[in-house]
Structure 1
Amino acid sequence: MRLQEDDLNNIIVTESLGKAVQTSDGTLNILSAINLTIKAGESLAIIGESGSGKSTLISLLAGLDTPTSGSIHIQGQSLTAMNEDGRAALRNALIGFVFQSFQLLPGLTALENVMLPLELSGNPQAKAMAAALLQRVGLAHRLTHTPKQLSGGEQQRVALARAFVTRPAILFADEPTGNLDSKTGATIIDLLFELNQENHTTLILVTHDAGLAARCQRTLRLSAGCMV
C-alpha cells in the first residue's frame, strides 16, 4: 500500500483532497486536489487571500470538517475513514489549537482554562502542569484571573499555554495575532515559535502576514482553493 511506503517522518499526508458545497447556483469548490506532505517537526505557513480556502484546509486536516473527495492520513491513520468519535479521539491525542479569538472559557480562571484539556483526559497532574506552563509564558501572577481581567496579549498567552500543555504532536494556529496590536503580536509570535521548538511540535500556521509566514520553514499559498 502507498501509505506503508511513505516516509515515517511524514506526519500528515493528503491526496487529491477536495471540499465542495452545494449552493443555489450549483456546486462551489472550496478546495480542489490538494496534495500535501508535512513532516514531523516542520513549520508550515498557509497563506492566501480571504476566501482562498485556508481555514477550510486546516479544518479538514484537524478533523473538524470532512472532505468531499480525497484522503488525509495523520501519523499513518486514515482520518477520512474515521467517524466523528474517532476524529475527536485523534484530536485529543495529537492536536492543539490557537485561535484568533482566543476561545477561552469566560467563567474559568487562567489556570482552570489551561487545566481543562488535561482534566478531560484524566491527568492527575493537571494543576501542576498548567501552573508550570503559565509560568513559562510569563503569567504566574495571573493564575486566578478570568479572561475579562486579562489583556488581549495575556489571553493569547493563556491560549498558548492551553494549546501546549498536552504536548500535542501538531499545533494549528489560525491567525494567532489577528486581534492583537503589532507589538503584542510580535511578542506572542516569538513565544509561539519558542514553545514550538521546545516541544518539537509540527506547526501549521494560517496567516495574512508575509513576515510571519517567512519565519516558518515552508510556505503553502492557496488561490481559489488550489495550491499555487
Structure 2
Amino acid sequence: MKNIIINVQQVGKVVKGEEDLIILQDITFALDAGDSLAIIGSSGSGKSTLLGLLAGLDTPTSGNIILAEQPLNQLTEDQRAAIRAEHVGFIFQSFQLLDTLTALENVMLPLELKGNTQAIKEAQQLLERVGLEKRLRHYPKQLSGGEQQRVAIARAFASHPKILFADEPTGNLDTHTGEHISNLLFELNQEQATTLVLVTHEERLAKRCHRQIQIEAGKIANESAQ
C-alpha cells in the first residue's frame, strides 16, 4: 500500500487589496509517494502559485497542505525550510542559480550542506548526466538559458529528494534537450521512487505523468489518470 505524501485539503489563496484577488479556491487532492503529477492550465490560472504552496514556499489563505506527514500551515518558516531541506527538490522557471558560483559549485552546494564528502564527484556525474561536462567551471552568466536550466535540474537531483517540484522544467530547452531532460526526470521517478510534481504547458510531458490536474481560474477544472 502506498503512502500519501501530499494531501491538499480545500486550499485557497487570496491576495488582499481594495478588491481581493482570488488566485486559488477549494483545491483538494492527494498524491501517493512515487507518483507523478502534471499541473496544467492556461497562463494566469494559478498553477505556479499552487506549486509554491505545495513546496511550502508560501502559505495558503485557507485550507491545509500536509507534506510528508507535516501540516505546513502549522509550521514556522524555519520549520518549513527544514522540511524542504530534508524532502524537497525544486526546479525554478527562473533557475535561481548563484551567480558567484560555477556550475559545478552550484550543484555541489546542496551536497556540501548535507555533509557529503563525495560532493565534487557526485556533482560532476550529475552535470555529465545533463550533458554539461564541458561547462563545469562556467558561471551562470556564461551559460545559455537552456544550460542554466540543466544546471538547476542537476542541482535539484543532487539532494536525492523524496519530492521534486518543477516549474516548466523543459520550457527553456530545445526539443532534443527537452526530451533528454524529460527522460531524466522520469528515470529519477523510477530509480529513486521520487514523487514528481510538474507545472508544464507541454502536452507530451504532461501525458507521461501518472496523473494530470487542470487548473482554470483558480479551480480544479479536470482530473485524469493514466
Shared topology, TM-score over 0.5?
yes
Q: Is the 8 A contact 2:37 2:196 kept in 1?
A: yes
Q: Could you tell me which of 59, 62, 79 is aligned with 1:86?
A: 79
CA distance in 1, matches of 2:204, 2:115: 39
Structure 1 stretches of 5 or more lacking a match? 1-6
Partner of 2:132: 139
CA contact (8 A) 1:44 1:218 kept: yes
Aligned partner (choices 11, 36, 59) of residue 5 of structure 2: 11
| Structure 1 range deviating more: 27-36 or 139-148 | 139-148
Alignment partner, residue 102 of structure 2: 109
TM (normalized to structure 1)?
A: 0.90
Residue aligning to 2:224: none
* Shift in Å, 1:78: 1.0
Local SS of the residue matching 2:95: coil
Equivalent residue, structure 1, for 2:157: 164
**Does 161-170 or 27-36 show the bigger shift?**
27-36
**Pick from 23, 28, 35: which aligns with 1:35?**
28
From 38, 49, 56, the counterpart of 2:42 = 49
Give 3-state SS (helix, strand or coil) of 1:140's partner: coil
Q: Contact between 2:88 and 2:162, CA under 8 Å: does it hold in 1?
A: yes
Query: Shift of the alpha carbon at 1:30?
Result: 1.0
What is residue 210 of structure 1 aligned with on the other side? 203
Percent of matched pairs sharing the same residue: 62
Residue 188 to residue 8, structure 1, CA distance change in 2 (3 Å):
closer
Would the aligned equivalents of 2:88 and 2:163 in 1 still touch at CA under 8 Å?
yes
Shift of 1:131: 1.9
Q: How many residues align?
A: 221
SS in 1 for 2:16: strand
RMSD: 1.7
Which residue is equivalent to 2:123?
Answer: 130
Q: Are residues 1:219 and 2:193 paired?
A: no
Structure 2 match to 1:153:
146
Deviation readout 1:155-202 (Å, 9 max, x if unpaired): 222211100111000001101122233333233222322233222210
Q: Quote how far apart the aligned CAs of 1:8 are.
A: 5.8
Unaligned runs of 5+ in 2: 222-226
Aligned equivalents of 1:48, 1:171: Cα separation in 2: 20
Q: Is the 8 A contact 1:207 1:213 kept in 2?
A: yes
Structure 1 residue 121, shift from structure 2 partner: 3.0
80-89 vs 190-199, which deviates more? Answer: 190-199
Letter in 2 for 1:107: T
Deviation per residue, 1:41-72 (Å, 9 max, x gap): 11100011111111111111111101111111
Amino acid at match of 1:50: S
Of 192-201 and 37-46, the range deviating more from structure 2: 192-201
Instruction: After superposing the two structures, state which structure 1 stretch, 37-46 or 177-186, moved more.
Output: 177-186
Q: Answer yes or no: is the 8 Å Cα contact 1:153–1:185 preserved in 2.
A: no
Paired with 2:114 and 2:66, the residues of 1 have a C-alpha distance of: 23
Which residue in the other structure is 1:3 paired with? none
1:98/1:173 contact within 8 Å kept: yes
> Which amino acid is the alignment partner of residue 174 of structure 1?
D
**SS at 1:92's partner residue?**
helix
More off after superposition, 50-59 vs 123-132 = 123-132
